[in-house]
Amino acid sequence: MKKISLIFVMFALIALTNCTTHTVKLGKKCTQIASDNTYEKSFVWIVKKETISAFDKKINKSNCSKIEGKA
């Protein structure tokens, strides 16, 4: 039942954000490691449509590979 609820919430989130000035980016993406050795990793990102190109440069899948030592 929890999985069904989670899937419903995900679809609702995607539907609602596409009606605004935001878009939903799906897939594993990470930020670069900061000076204090922290980073962010997520499979769902909500991004303003006007900043998508900057988002893709800063937060992407290749950063995850570097963090996990696969690069």
pTM (2 decimals)? 0.63
* Nearest alpha-carbon partner for 43 in 57, 25, 55: 25
Residue 42 CA to residue 64 CA, distance in Å, equals 10
Q: Given pLDDT bands bounded at 50, 70 and 90, which one contains residue 66?
A: confident
Report residue 44: phi and psi, to 5°: -130, 125
Percent of the chain with pLDDT over 70: 89
Residue 3, CA distances (Å) to 8, 26, 50, 65 in order: 9, 18, 33, 28
Supply the pLDDT for residue 5.
Answer: 79
For residue range 12-65, list pLDDT tens digits in order: 777 765 567 878 888 999 999 999 999 999 998 888 889 989 999 999 999 998
- Residue 17 to residues 25, 49, 59, 66, 68: CA-CA distances in angstroms? 11, 11, 19, 30, 30
